[in-house]
A and B are shown apart, each in its own frame.
Chain A
Amino acid sequence: MTCTEFIAQLDDLLEERVSITLRADLEEHLRGCEHCVITMNTTRKTIEIYRSHELYELPNALRERLQKAILAKCKKC
């Protein structure tokens, strides 16, 4: 397996959606390719970091103002 072929399967590997046979092939590639190990680990970490950090919080005061505006308009419909 080449690095390009490994990368093409990376998402399915990260989401554990690969067959047992394919997983074995991917793991075999990883044993001999440090670059793909790094790519896999840092890609997994990228996803984790974005999942665990709230970048755009809706402040309570704004939230209440938006909710009131939405419902006022709905009542006029």
Chain B
Amino acid sequence: MPDIQTQGTEEVHPDVLLVNRAREGDVQAFEKLVKQYDRQVFRIAQHITQNREDAEDVVQDAFLKAYEKLDQFQGNSKFYTWLVRIAVNESLMRLRKRRTGRMVSIDEDVETDEGSMPRDLADWGPDPEMQYGQSELADILRKTIQGLPPGFRTVFVLRDVEGLSTEETAETLGLSVPAVKSRLLRARLQLRERLSRYFRKNKRDGAK
């Protein structure tokens, strides 16, 4: 993460300086922001949409929308979380289109009871991922997270993969802090439960 500069007594995040320059028409300043965050936006979009073409479109459209709306960026949140909010909305919109117009929102399927209490209580070995090659493991992890409802998947990705705080995740998704915490817990427990079938001790055959 870039160093924080100080202006007088107030700390100014380097992104804010780049945003200010971009607002004045300096496209190179915006290019720096694109290069800083394009990987993260792609990852988030791919996790939510589960579609490579859609993720590519989201990266382009999210940055373009951000550029067009730079005047609306208040500076009271991080540029990154503001950008992620745009990317999440674009991703959900595309997910909806893929599902032939069926409504997809951050609230979808979150009323399920699955994952509220652990059922599979088998222990894992000390390094369960070592049972698999890198490519096989990546397939398992992708397949497992794809099975989560979008509302859980998005919270888990923002909090645990991208490292946003609970408060930033809540702000980004327009949810309350307790709602984020509740969904995160259930997402983690559901993932754990589903991974158990691959990682439990002496259950290498479970990967089928």
Contact = CB atoms under 8 A, between A and B. Distances in A.
B161 A51 contact: yes
A26 to B, nearest CB: 15
Interface in A43-76: 43, 45-47, 49-51, 53-58, 62-63, 66-67, 69-71, 73-75
B142 A74 contact: no
Task: Give the bracket for the number of chain A residues in contact with chain B.
Answer: 35 or more
A11 B184 contact: yes
Contact of B60 (A3, A4, A66): A66
Interface of B: 27, 30-31, 34-35, 38-39, 42-43, 46-47, 55-56, 59-60, 63-64, 67-68, 117-118, 121-124, 128-129, 137-138, 141-142, 145, 156, 160-161, 181, 184-185, 188-189, 191-192, 195-196, 199
Given A39-B118, A58-B39, A67-B34, 19 more contacts: A10-B185, A38-B121, A41-B123, A42-B124, A42-B192, A42-B195, A46-B191, A49-B141, A50-B161, A51-B160, A53-B138, A53-B141, A55-B46, A55-B141, A58-B42, A66-B56, A67-B31, A67-B38, A70-B63
